Amino acid sequence: MTAPITIAPLDPAPCAELRKLYEETSHVESRTRYQMILLAQQGYRVPQIARIVLRSEDTVTRVLKRFLTGGLDAVPRHTPPGRERTVTPERAC
């Protein structure tokens, strides 16, 4: 069993920036990641956050660790390198 991830309370300015990013981002996955951090700030643990945001505990842990090491800039979902995905009519349904 891994040690629980604890995020210390943020100062008012970074907390306000986090809340603003959460409310204003149009990218759904990035918004979910900001929500994970907000929930961690409120004292929720990884399993609870995972159930709330409908993601795996591994994903929540990865996002929280990225935040702890890289701050808010490390949180948003980035498009992987390479050719953009295309959806063929056969795969659309």
pLDDT tens digits for range 2-54: 567 878 788 888 889 999 999 998 889 999 999 999 999 999 999 999 999 99
34 HSE (CA, 13 A, CB side)? 21
Amino acid making up residue 3:
A
Give the sign of the dihedral formed by CA 83, CA 88, CA 90, CA 93: positive
pLDDT tens digits for range 40-89: 999 999 999 999 999 999 999 999 999 999 988 888 876 667 777 777 77
pTM: 0.78
Select from 34, 29, 43, 28 the least CA-distant residue to 15.
34
Q: Distance (Å, rounded) from C-alpha 57 to C-alpha 83?
A: 29
In this structure, whether the domain defined by 12-74 belongs to CATH 1.10.10 is answered with yes
